[in-house]
A and B are shown apart, each in its own frame.
Chain A
Amino acid sequence: MCINCGCAPTEGAHNHHHHDHDHGARTLRIEEDLLAKNDRLAAGNRAQFAAAGVFVLNLVSSPGSGKTTLLERTLRELGTKWRFAVLEGDQQTSLDADRIAAPGVPVRQINTGAGCHLDAHMVGHGVENFDLPGTDLLLIENVGNLVCPASFDLGEDHKVALLSVTEGEDKPLKYPQMFRAAALMIITKTDLLPYVDFDVERCKAFARQVNPKIEILELSCRSGEGLAEWYGWLEEGVKRKQEPRAESQE
């Protein structure tokens, strides 16, 4: 330990010039998580969503796994049943927001610029103009990226990871962070299974290796196969989220 200021010697290079004179040098013990600020903001978002009774999903996947297509189809088929709101995250363009645009569904595009993920701060501002108490389901489409979005809590109820059958079935092992963080994995584009070497059972086993609790659905937005199960999963989540409010209003 340095006798002047009591600082612990650090490994490698150590800057000693400040020990030559009287000064206020000292060591501060911090122990703060680098994501602490994001986590605080995410907790704020989560409280806001809970108070409004909105079920919130953070859709994550690599680019091209079918997040936007799944959103389109879901809005088309359930848009009159529930009140949706959508946040679209992309580095640039409003192409996805334009694609999603459905009558009566508020859609907001967030451009992250150089950023590779959405964070809780962007989402907090992104929902500012949404009527949250008048919303049942908020779907957040994250930037297409299987790495970075895993670390950033947005205040969602669940992360939902999409994986299309045109990708490798070993992706859950290669990108474990994301599949550990997700509550649900959706295997998409299953209508293409006859044409690709994608072993569904192996993929599921890999996902459970990194996350034994993960739920798994398989669907195709093209053939419609498996969509009923996805809608059922959504319905359960919406109901569970609205229960506490319904009780408090009785």
Chain B
Amino acid sequence: MHELSLTQNLVAIAEEHARKAGAVVIRSITLEVGELSGAIPEALEFAFDVCSKGTLAEGAVLTIRRVPGHGRCAVCAAETACHELSAVCPACGALGFELATGTELRLLELEID
């Protein structure tokens, strides 16, 4: 359940940027969540309702963009999708797979008023 801490961070970062920009309300938040980030989007959404209460982000639309796991094998040079955190290359089976995307946990964009 570290989604709760992550979401608290999310709201804090969003509020900080919104205040700096002179906003009175945050309309929407766009978040990037990698499929191998270890965070569950549904749990983030659930936590967001709780964590945003009484903040500038209360009632904001939370949009989560899921980023698929993708990487490259240092042994066979294949560039492939990857749905598990593993160094085993899905193409050749060697221990050389390096993830390029899929571990993101990033606040991308805010829509403010």
Residues of A within 8 A of B (CB): 5, 7-8, 10-15, 18, 23-38, 114-117, 119, 147-148, 150-152, 173, 176-177, 180, 208-212
Contact = CB atoms under 8 A, between A and B. Distances in A.
B50 to A, nearest CB: 12
Contacts of A117: 2, 5
Contacts of A148: 1-2, 5
A37 B27 contact: no
A34 B107 contact: yes
Nearest to A208: B95
Contacts of A26: 21, 111-112
A15 B13 CA distance: 21
A28 to B, nearest CB: 4
Contact of B17 (A7, A28, A37): A28
A177 B106 contact: no
Contacts of B95: 208-209, 212
A28 B110 contact: yes
A147 B2 CA distance: 8
B109 interface: yes
B61 A10 contact: yes
27 contacts: A10-B61, A11-B63, A14-B28, A15-B27, A18-B113, A24-B112, A25-B27, A26-B111, A27-B111, A28-B109, A30-B107, A30-B109, A31-B107, A32-B106, A33-B105, A34-B9, A34-B31, A35-B6, A35-B9, A114-B4, A116-B2, A119-B5, A150-B38, A152-B2, A176-B86, A177-B38, A209-B86
Residue among A15, A28, A176, A211 with most chain B CB within 10 A: A28
B52 interface: no
B49 interface: no
Contacts of A212: 87, 95
A10 B28 contact: yes
Contacts of B9: 34-38
A38 B5 CA distance: 10
Contacts, number: 117
B108 interface: yes
Contacts of B38: 147, 150-151, 177
Interface string B17-33: 11001110001101100
Given A24-B113, A27-B109, A209 B63 contact: no
A26 B65 CA distance: 20
Given A15-B61, A177-B38, A212-B95, A34 B2 contact: no
Interface in B59-82: 61, 63, 65
B91 interface: no
Contact of B1 (A28, A116, A176): A116
Given A28-B17, A30-B17, A119-B5, 5 more contacts: A14-B28, A30-B107, A30-B109, A150-B38, A151-B2
Contacts of B110: 27-28, 30
Residue among B63, B85, B88 with most chain A CB within 10 A: B85
Given A10-B30, A148-B2, A150-B38, A34 B86 contact: no
A210 B87 contact: yes
A10 B2 contact: no
B112 A25 contact: yes
Contact of A34 (B1, B27, B61, B105): B105
B13 A36 contact: yes
